[in-house]
Structure 1
Amino acid sequence: MSASTPDHPPSAASARAALPVLGTYLKPLWPRALLMAALLLGSVGLNLLAPQVLRAFLDAATNHDVNVGVLVRLAGVFLGVSIAVQLLSAGATYAGADVGWAATNRLRADLARHLLGLDMSYHKDRTPGEMIERIDGDVTALSNFFSQFAVRVFGALLLLLGALVMFWREDWRLGLGISVFAVGTLFALNVARKPGVEPTRREREASARLFGFIEERLTGLDDVRALGAGHHTLNAFLRVQRDFYTRARAAWLARSTVWQLSFFLFTLAYAIVIASAVGLYAAGAITLGTAFLLYQYMTMIDEPINQLAQQLQDLQKAGASLIRVSEILALRSDLPGGERPVPVGALEVRFEHVQFAYGDASVLQDVHLTIPAGHTVGLLGRTGSGKTTLTRLLSRLYDPTSGAVILGGVDTRDADLHALRERVAVVTQDVQLFQASVRDNLTLFDPSLPDARITEALTEVGLDSWLAGLPEGLHSSLPAGSLSAGEAQLLAFARVLLRDPGLVILDEPSSRLDPATEAKLTAAMRRLTEGRTAIIIAHRLDTVARVDDILVLGEGRVLEFAPRARLAANPRSQYAALLRAGAHHAEEVLA
């Protein structure tokens, strides 16, 4: 589908496509960037002035008629200039970090939002660890780069140009020679930089796979231990780690070419400048202060180019990350949202000759039925009969291969996607709880909901006494694993009540509960489904003992769909056969 990211070298086109990402996030921060530029200009100007003051000091100190007062004043000026340079440099560094982190934090938020909006088929092919590396790892590489790159590179270029101007002022021949050297060095370093981009991209891919592997194995730690698979897991980890190490080492070697070349070229350049300065001083053509000045300005050529060399290595990392980020942002969902609102209140549900397949595997075949608004439906069927797929079409995690799914008279493909998912609530067997407060777990971190409404929802599902026992009420921490399965399900019901949807889908809500807890849950289910359309997926018949209609699926087809009382009274119906056989043998009867 369109949301795929093939593992191939980035083309020049993909690299160019990454550049607009920079403009999008840096352009709104231009006032801060302007402040940073002003601070840098001041710092560089004073940096270039300092050697001039030092030359005057040395020439005055070596003069036979030494004036101590002049030396003191020059020393004071030099000290003041040096302090000012440090202060301006610190200010520019702070401004640059502010710009870099502000831009990349916006990018991180947009990237997370974009990934959450991609289709389920994209997420099914990737582990959460890979997603973490994409959202945090790649963007952190950009954050580190942008928070320093502008200051160091822009400042280094200004300092380099200023030092070259000073060389031209002292002697045009020196200026010409150093200018040719600087341009040649920058060109050579840029050429040496390019081979490092692709190995760095492969390193980031290997890092994502490593994070994905670790996350997946930690999630399944109980099974790994119970089945004695620790040794095999460790061997697999070492293979993934070896691949990451190999790619990281290759990337480092490719990037190190830049500073190795820089070190060699500047060793040669220093030798030439020092020899020239010593020769000119010995010939009486320049003073000792000027000789020292030439050395100082050479360091101002060396320092910015070394900075550029280091930043070019970071540029290789950032370039690879930026390409990966831009590839993600370029992905588009195959389920574009419409604009039609979904009606309020209980929703009528219609499946009009719906077919659905995962690739070549057919899952639903000609499903055609209508669930009246406000009805509760018990959905029965063997594992693999298409029950879960049917409900996923309702929340539009997928679109039907053919046919249409209609909610409240609106085709799901024409509905506003956000509004649709607000109106359809799904409660699964495994309730996701966060290590956060009770309030945040219920509101999903929405601060706008009042505490009174949240407390009311907990009371409606029978958790008022549980809430009263918490030390800080709604603001009590809810550590992962601190709730029973029944309490977790009731919390999920309270979440749904806070949203007030028109359609509720319950996926086997009582499958793991003891009879006492199940009775409490059943009461909460009645409150939850009151005034709403509800679909309850069940294997235990007690769960659907009070629903209005029964829908039985088999191999993706509707085997029967009718009022529960009518099917129960019909001895030939599959539902009646289930009642006779008992819930424990439901799978065999449905076969």
Structure 2
Amino acid sequence: MRIPIKQCHDLLINYLKPLWLKVLLLAVLFIAGIGLQLVNPQIMRYFIDTAKSGGALQKLTVAAVLFISIALLGSVVSAFAGYVSNDLGWRATNRLRSDLVLHILQLDMSFHSTHTPGELIERIDGDVTRLANFLSQFVIRLLGGILLSLGILILLIYEDIRIGLALTAFIGVYLLVHIRSQQIAVPHWRAERGASADLFGFLEERLSGLKDIRSLGAIAYVMRRFHEVIRRAFWTNFKANVITDVGWTISNLVFAAGYVVIMVLGAHLFLDDVITIGTVYLILHYLQMLRAPLNTIRSEIEDLQRVRVSIERVKELTDTQSTIRDGIGESLPLGALSVAFQNVSFAYHAGIPVLHNVSFQLKPGGVLGLLGRTGSGKTTLSRLLCRFYDPSSGELCLSGVDIRLTRLSDLRQRVGLVTQEVQLFQGSLRDNLTLFEETINDERILTALRTLGLETWYRALPNGLDTTIGSSGGGLSAGEAQLLALTRVFLKDPGLVILDEASSRLDPATEALLEGAVAQLLKDRTAVIIAHRLSTVQRANEILILEEEQIKEHGEYDRLVSDPNSIFSGLLRTGLEEVLA
């Protein structure tokens, strides 16, 4: 994807505009620093010519003191400008990084299913860090180099128009050659950033699945794939650097040729008594000064190619819009919510339906036991209720409100989801229960734990709410992680609870706690339970069985149990766990 230069420019300006005071300060420091660099050679020219002509010692002393003072002041200004530039660059890009994280969190599940976390980390951290480094140095090095070069050319034209015009022509040729030679490197740097993102994605996936990799003896396979991925990253980086270095070599040859021409011209003018020895020094010194900004300009142009790729990748991400649009603000009522599916169909991929023409209703306070084999659409149905996806067709309502009309934040506050895989975060038990929401105080947390019958479990923890929990659940069993998830949902006080019951066996004590907590959580709430065990099915007052993308059976629990011809009664006779495994 190619992003026009104007859009890259607009992206940068958008994040620099709120920091305009710092930008203005930086501009003042640049102009002051460049002025000081241009003045000092003039003082040295005066010193040389005065000394050669036998000038007074006092004049020479004043010139020397002034030269040293300006040099010291220039160093101070340069250091301060560097600090302001770095501060400006990181403040601007930290806002961009924050906006990117928020944007990614708001994108729908279809986006996340096609982009690995490692790839997104590389964009948020790698590309934006490259942009931060560029911004923090760009103004000082590139713009400073350009302004310094222009100042030198203006002063040399004032000294001698022939020298000035010759240098102007030389710089024009030099920059033209360098820019043309560097343009060929852009697609190679784009490939390098893509290979780097692939490497991050590979590492994130494999490290996340470390337990399975070890248990399956797949370490050798992972290492083989790692070497393939890192080999590609190495060669794309190597190729991009080689092509860039070719441009540098061509530019160096052009600069060397121009340097010789200017030296010959300066010597000729001095021998013809057109300029003084002090002016010869001035020309050669300015010429040497030009080398640094020109090298800086070409270096920044090279970085600009890399940063342009990073900006393209960031812009591509910010332009990606979620297919799930926020609603207009229809509010959901308090208390238990009713659920209505009306001819709902859904497919993750076109032509491969997961749900087809599903219709059912669940009254407020009702508990629906959702049954079906793996792949029958149970989890998809729960995702639609949370609006992780929108139906391909049909309508899904909560208490008569189409969920596409309510705000996503309101919907997810009123619908609580407990999945089999509980995501834990590095932090305290308190942080994991409240998800770092500081408005939830300890008393409210403890009340929730007591209500759910978890006070005994809580008091057995070594440090209570301050107990440290790692991202992998350090110290908690699978059952305890489920208890934590139930408490999270309870603290939200939703009107609809969706419980994807853990199919793994739990120890009797934890299972007893879990059963009691679920009972309290579902009290006065509507619930949809994806059930795997008979004990959970008995909690439901309605049963819905999915098979081959459609509803195979739906009815009241008691009626289906008493009907020997119902599919559900057959499941109970056969053994629910075995049939639904």
Instruction: Render the CA deviation track for 1:478-498: whole Å, top value 9, x for unaligned.
Output: 123321111111111111122
Specify the SS of the correspondent of 1:89: helix
Q: What is residue 87 of structure 2 aligned with on the other side?
A: 98
Q: Deviations over 1:299-320 (max 9, x none)?
A: 2322211111111111011100
Consecutive aligned runs of 4 or more in structure 1 exceeding 6 Å deviation: none
**3-state SS in 2 of match to 1:366:** strand
Letter in 1 for 2:575: G
Is structure 2 residue 142 aligned with structure 1 residue 149?
no
Return the alpha-carbon distance in structure 2 between the equivalents of residues 415 and 474 of structure 1: 34
Q: Judging changes above 3 Å, is the alpha-carbon distance between structure 1 residues 152 and 469 closer, same or farther for their aligned structure 2 residues? A: farther
1:344 pairs with 317, 334, 350, which one?
334
- Quickly say closer, same or farther: Cα 1:304–1:364, change in 2 above 3 A: same
Q: What is the CA-CA distance between 1:84 and the residue it aligns to?
A: 1.0
Given candidates 171, 174, 184, the residue that maps to 1:182 is 171
Query: What is the aligned partner in structure 2 of residue 110 from structure 1?
Result: 99
**What's the counterpart of residue 567 of structure 1?**
560
Letter in 2 for 1:395: C
Q: How does 1:5-24 map to 2 (within 5 A)?
A: 10-11=1-2, 14-24=4-14
> Could you tell me which residue of structure 1 aligns to residue 36 of structure 2?
46
> Cα distance, 1:210 vs. partner?
1.0
1:487 aligns with 2:476: no
Q: Which amino acid aligns with 1:407?
A: L
**Alignment correspondent of 1:424:** 415
The secondary structure found in structure 2 opposite 1:434 is coil
Q: How big is the shift at 1:326?
A: 0.8
Cα drift, residue 157 of structure 1: 1.5
Aligned equivalent of 1:5: none
Tell me how far 1:254 sits from its aligned partner: 2.7
What SS does structure 1 have at the residue aligned with 2:171?
helix
Secondary structure of the structure 2 residue equivalent to 1:344 = coil
Q: Indicate the percent of aligned positions where both proteins have the same amino acid.
A: 45
Q: 2:359 matched to 1:368? A: yes
Give runs of aligned pairs for residues 270-419 of structure 1, distance below 5 A: 270-339=259-328, 340-358=330-348, 359-419=350-410
8 Å contact 1:578–1:585 — kept in the other structure? no
Deviation at 1:512, TM superposition (A): 3.6
Note if 1:167 corresponds to 2:167. Answer: no
- Of 468-477 and 21-30, deviating more is 468-477
Matched-pair contact (CA < 8 Å) for 1:258–1:312: no
Q: Distance in 1 between matches of 2:278 and 2:460?
A: 81
**Offset from partner CA, 1:249-294 (integer Å, 9 cap, x none):** 1211232244323322222222223333344444444333222211
Equivalent residue for 2:535? 542
Q: Is the counterpart of residue 499 in structure 1 residue 492 in structure 2?
A: yes
One-letter amino acid of the counterpart of residue 88, structure 1: V
Question: Residues 163 and 462 (structure 1 numbering): CA distance in 2 closer, same or farther, change over 3 Å?
Answer: farther
CA distance in 2, matches of 1:54, 1:390: 81
CA contact (8 A) 2:163 2:265 kept: no
Once the 2 structures are TM-superposed, how far is the Cα of residue 417 of structure 1 from its aligned partner? 2.0
Name the counterpart of 1:520.
513
Q: Out of 63, 71, 84, which is 1:82 matched to? A: 71
State the AA in 2 paired with 1:210: L
In the alignment, is the contact (CA less than 8 A) between 2:560 and 2:568 conserved in 1? yes
What's the counterpart of residue 246 of structure 1?
A: 235
1:36 to 26, 33, 58: 26
C-alpha spacing 1:196/1:344, structure 2 compared with 1 (3 Å): farther
Distance 1:516 1:475 in 2: 24
CA contact (8 A) 2:454 2:513 kept: no
Are 1:123 and 2:116 counterparts?
no
For residue 439 of structure 1, the aligned residue among 406, 415, 430 is: 430
Partner of 2:250: 261
Structure 2 residues not aligned, in runs of 5+: none
Matched residue count: 577
- For residues 19 and 376 of structure 2, the distance between their equivalents in structure 1, rounded to whole angstroms, comes to 54
CA 297–471 in structure 1, closer or farther in 2 if over 3 Å, else same: farther
Q: Is the 8 A contact 2:503 2:532 kept in 1?
A: no
Distance apart, 1:571 and its partner CA = 2.4
Aligned to 1:215: 204
Structure 1 partner of 2:226: 237
1:533 is the counterpart of 2:511: no
Counterpart CA distance in 2 for 1:387 and 1:177 is: 77
The 2-side partners of 1:85 and 1:512 are apart by 73
> Within 2, Cα distance between the matches of 1:60 and 1:452?
84
Change (3 A) 1:179 1:438: same
CA distance in 2, matches of 1:467, 1:264: 74
Aligned position for 1:195: 184
- Take 1:515 and 1:583, find their aligned partners in 2: how far apart are those partners? 19
Alignment correspondent of 1:4:
none
Q: Which residue of 12, 15, 19 maps to 1:25?
A: 15
Task: Tell me the CA shift for residue 100 of structure 1.
Answer: 1.4
The more displaced of 579-588 and 294-303 is 579-588
Distance of 1:17 and 1:159 partners within structure 2: 28
Q: Report the CA distance between 1:472 and its aligned residue.
A: 5.0
Query: Secondary structure of the residue that 1:352 maps to in structure 2?
Result: strand
Asked whether the equivalents of residues 371 and 580 of structure 2 are also in contact (C-alpha less than 8 Å), the reply is: no
SS of the counterpart of 1:558?
A: strand
Give secondary structure in 1 for the equivalent of 2:185: helix
Deviation at 1:465, TM superposition (A): 4.1
In structure 2, the residue corresponding to 1:345 is in which secondary structure?
A: coil
Larger CA deviation: 14-23 vs 24-33: 14-23
CA shift for structure 1 position 14: 4.5
Deviation at 1:348, TM superposition (A): 0.8
Shift of 1:424: 1.4
| 2:443 counterpart (446, 452, 455) | 452
Letter in 1 for 2:341: F
Decide which moves more: 396-405 or 42-51.
396-405
Worse overlay, 374-383 or 272-281: 272-281
Instruction: Please give the alpha-carbon distance, in whole angstroms, between the structure 1 residues aligned to 2:243 and 2:187.
Output: 9
- 1:554 pairs, out of 544, 547, 550, with 547
Offset at 1:149? 0.7
